[in-house]
């Protein structure tokens, strides 16, 4: 959540425009408000803050407000402390106006720290936890500390996961501090340096990075000409930490909507290709990972949000395909299972961003027990990838929309492939998934989308939508509810079909929409019976199934994909969720109150 971009160059101008470009690429991380700071011609700090999305901001307007300059800092905000307003937008300044701060995360002990500043008559101009950082650096420097030591001093006192960048206009230095939230240094040509919470903030300009690890600070000086090489320092100890420049594998991806109205529908349609890309893995490596799964003394599949539902589906996939018991749990609850962890346990961590705080905390619990970590992750170089013993890339490409779609089916595909490999049937699994990718390609055509658009128009005024499934499609019913909730703001609830008679039927009345996810497996007939129960109470039954059935009022055809049914069954719901949002006048790329990468608890 929230995006940070900093830029330091020996050039005399252009920094604000470069930071603006980077912030636009990170808008999916925070879009309540945004702001920038740059060094002006007199060596002071100029700031610009706005409420709302940064997407429409132009470089000409930024140049008028901030001028040129070779140093700039920017932030896109997802509000935690303090309401959405210009006064709460970052950057924040100290009393002297010499220190500018941008910050991601939460300072859990900020009230205590703020009380001290108030008692000492500091002028605080926002309701955020962030602003106190600038004032504590100011205090440290007033007491004779250098900028770096003053920054490290307050960093040592902070509680909670966060990351911040401080700019000192008088000393012409910038400090980037990582305390559990992501922050990366990018090394450009000609000595230019970038700082960002996400490699996408500078990936168009360089693929050479220096990773800031937890409890470390990177210090950049730019007193004369080009900036010096960044110096890395341990926050707790103060000693210098040696780093190397790493060249990451990358390709320049299109950040345009490619003719689509929104990124969400573009990314849904990209599943024609990304399912096949997800399983484009080295066979020998997959079999080595599968042997580790087979021989582990206990396997946990762990994720958060949508990835958590994928993990629950994975539990069924390993049972059905590999006859292997694995435990699926959401990351925020994983610590309750710590007593079962040993050095022989394997944890499979599933994430799109690789920066989700609940998942990283869960990995910390597993690490304390010596548990081995395998990650399935979409972002190369993410924290999750770097703390794992082994990682498999999802290969889904950048996912900008907050609602996950192509990364979800990539996760499902890779877990299905691993289940087949664990069963010793890797080639069979690959054939199934490649065939599924071809069927999805055929399915996602304009006529199919129009049928779902028509259904969205019917449902746009619904108060509730229920989704049921059985077996591996029960977690997909829960994931379908997540998609409908976060895009259309309609209350949606997914549950196991067999649980209908244990309470949910009381909520069904005439016209209540109920989506039924049907697979051509041993749950088919029971699932159809559940659909009939809903219809008998007046519910409006929408069947997502390979075959038409009299139980359905509205039928959405999907391929008969066998064990890959979760993949083909969730895609129509993604399309429906998109068109429901559009029909209700909602921007589906940026749902209210949500952000792409959840880096705060």
The residues with which 193 forms a beta bridge, in sequence order, are 8, 187
* Choice among 95, 501, 596, 601 that is catalytic: 596
| The token pair that represents 263 in the structure block | 């990124």
> In terms of Cα–Cα distance, which of 497, 324, 537 is closest to 422?
324
Inter-residue contact 417 to 430 (CB < 8 Å): yes
The residues with which 3 forms a beta bridge, in sequence order, are 76
Quick one: DSSP state of residue 560?
A: -
CA 176, 177, 183 angle in degrees (round to 5)? 75
Separation between Cα atoms, residue 579 and residue 588, nearest integer Å: 9
* Choice among 2, 243, 406, 483 that is catalytic: 2
CA 342, 344, 350 angle in degrees (round to 5)? 90
Name every residue whose Cβ is closer than 8 Å to that of residue 251 and which is 6 or more positions away in sequence. Answer: none
The residues with which 556 forms a beta bridge, in sequence order, are 544
Separation between Cα atoms, residue 423 and residue 299, nearest integer Å: 15
Separation between Cα atoms, residue 169 and residue 44, nearest integer Å: 6
SS3 399: coil
Inter-residue contact 181 to 143 (CB < 8 Å): no
SS3 281: coil
**Rounded to 5 degrees, what are φ and ψ at 63?**
-65, -40
Separation between Cα atoms, residue 534 and residue 18, nearest integer Å: 56
2 is catalytic: yes
CA 436, 302, 429 angle in degrees (round to 5)? 25
The residues with which 514 forms a beta bridge, in sequence order, are 466, 541
Inter-residue contact 367 to 450 (CB < 8 Å): no
DSSP string, 45-88: EEEEEEES-STT--HHHHHHHH---SEEEEEEE--SSS-SSTTT
**Rounded to 5 degrees, what are φ and ψ at 368?**
-65, -20
Burial class (CB in 10 A: 0-12, 13-18, 19+), 160: middle
DSSP string, 456-497: HHHHTT-SEEEEEE-TTHHHHHHHHHHHHHHHH--EEEEEEG
596 is catalytic: yes
Inter-residue contact 251 to 243 (CB < 8 Å): no
DSSP string, 329-351: EEGGGGGGGGGG--TT-EEEEEE
Inter-residue contact 422 to 324 (CB < 8 Å): yes
Q: How far is CA 503 from CA 128, 475, 507, 527, in A?
A: 43, 19, 8, 17
SS3 358: helix
Give catalytic residues, as residue numbers. 2, 596
């Amino acid at each position: 959540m929230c995006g940070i971009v900093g830029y330091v160059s020996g050039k005399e101008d252009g920094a604000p425009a470069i930071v603006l470009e980077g912030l636009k690429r990170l808008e999916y991380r925070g879009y309540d408000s945004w702001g920038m700071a740059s060094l002006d011609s007199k060596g002071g700090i100029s700031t610009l803050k706005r409420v709302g999305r940064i997407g429409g901001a132009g470089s000409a307007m930024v140049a008028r407000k901030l001028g040129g300059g070779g140093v700039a800092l920017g932030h896109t905000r997802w509000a935690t402390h303090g309401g959405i307003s210009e006064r709460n937008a970052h950057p924040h300044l100290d009393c002297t106006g010499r220190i500018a701060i941008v910050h991601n995360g939460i300072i859990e002990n900020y009230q205590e720290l703020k009380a001290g500043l108030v008692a000492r008559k500091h002028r605080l101009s926002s309701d955020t936890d962030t602003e106190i950082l600038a004032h504590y650096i100011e205090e440290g420097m007033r007491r004779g500390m250098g900028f770096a030591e003053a920054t490290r001093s307050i960093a040592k006192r902070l509680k909670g996961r966060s990351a911040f960048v401080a700019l000192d206009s008088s000393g012409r230095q910038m400090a980037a501090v990582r305390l559990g939230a992501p922050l990366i240094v990018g090394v450009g040509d000609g000595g230019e340096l970038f700082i960002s919470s996400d490699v996408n903030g500078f990936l168009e300009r360089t693929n050479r990075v220096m990773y800031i690890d937890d409890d470390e600070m990177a210090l950049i000086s730019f007193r004369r000409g080009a900036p010096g090489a960044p110096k890395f320092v341990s926050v707790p100890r103060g000693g210098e930490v040696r780093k190397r420049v790493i060249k990451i594998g990358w390709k320049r991806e299109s950040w345009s909507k490619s003719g689509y109205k929104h990124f969400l529908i573009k990314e849904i349609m990209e599943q024609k290709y990304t399912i096949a890309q997800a399983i484009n893995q080295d066979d020998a490596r997959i079999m080595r990972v599968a042997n580790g799964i087979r021989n582990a003394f206990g396997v946990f599949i762990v994720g958060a949000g949508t990835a958590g539902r994928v993990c629950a589906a994975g539990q069924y996939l390993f049972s059905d395909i590999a006859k292997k018991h694995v435990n699926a749990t959401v990351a925020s609850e994983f610590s309750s299972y710590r007593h079962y962890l040993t050095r022989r346990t394997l944890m499979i961590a599933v994430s799109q961003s690789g920066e989700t705080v609940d998942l990283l905390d869960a990995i910390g619990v597993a690490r304390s027990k010596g548990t081995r970590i395998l990650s399935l992750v979409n972002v190369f170089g993410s924290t999750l990838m770097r703390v794992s013993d082994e990682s498999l890339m999802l290969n889904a490409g950048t996912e900008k929309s907050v609602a996950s779609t192509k990364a979800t089916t990539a996760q499902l595909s890779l877990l299905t492939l691993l289940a087949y490999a664990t069963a010793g049937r890797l080639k069979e699994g690959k054939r199934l998934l490649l065939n599924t990718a071809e069927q999805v390609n055929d399915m996602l055509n304009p006529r199919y989308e129009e049928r779902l658009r028509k259904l969205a128009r019917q449902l746009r005024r619904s108060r509730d939508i229920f989704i049921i499934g059985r077996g591996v499609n029960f977690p997909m019913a829960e994931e379908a509810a997540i998609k409908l909730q976060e895009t259309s703001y309609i209350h949606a609830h997914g549950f196991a079909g067999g649980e209908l008679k244990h309470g949910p039927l009381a909520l069904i009345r005439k016209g209540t929409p109920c989506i039924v996810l049907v697979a051509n497996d041993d749950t088919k007939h029971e699932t159809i019976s559940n659909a009939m129960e809903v219809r008998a109470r007046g519910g409006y039954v929408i069947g997502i199934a390979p075959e038409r059935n009299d139980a359905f009022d509205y039928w959405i055809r999907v391929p008969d994909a066998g064990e890959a049914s979760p993949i083909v069954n969730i895609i129509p719901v993604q399309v429906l969720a998109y068109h429901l949002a559009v029909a209700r006048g909602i921007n589906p790329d940026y749902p209210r109150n949500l952000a792409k990468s959840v880096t705060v608890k």
